[in-house]
Amino acid sequence: MEFDWIDVSFDLTAVPPKDIEETFEDPFSLKLLPDAHADPSKARYYNLGKSLTGHGIFSVFWTDGKRYRIVFARHMTQVENDFYERKKVEDL
């Protein structure tokens, strides 16, 4: 999988690209799909995952099947982290 980091609209010093990429490799990451009524060419997806250092990151992205373009990323809130952990336990 290839990530497109050109001209991102958020601060990459707060959430480094390496950490974001690692969340997509997290075996317990949650990828949430857009509303079924959304225009497929403008669809945005959501990812909740953890980096190898254990940082929980929430990302908004789009993909064309070959590349991922991160629209926005930030650290997970406590509610998102609790949701992630609950789903992780369900998968085990």
pLDDT at 21 over 90: yes
The answer to whether residues 53 and 15 touch, using CB atoms and an 8 Å cutoff, is no
Give the pLDDT band (50/70/90) at residue 37: low
pTM of the model: 0.88
Give the pLDDT band (50/70/90) at residue 38: low
Burial 13-26 (b: 16+ CB within 10 A, else e): eebeeebbbbbbeb
Question: How do residues 50-72 score in pLDDT, each as one tens digit?
Answer: 999 999 999 999 988 899 999 99
Q: Which of 29, 33, 31 is nearest to 88 (CA)?
A: 29
pLDDT at 40: 66
Residue 23 gets which letter from DSSP? H
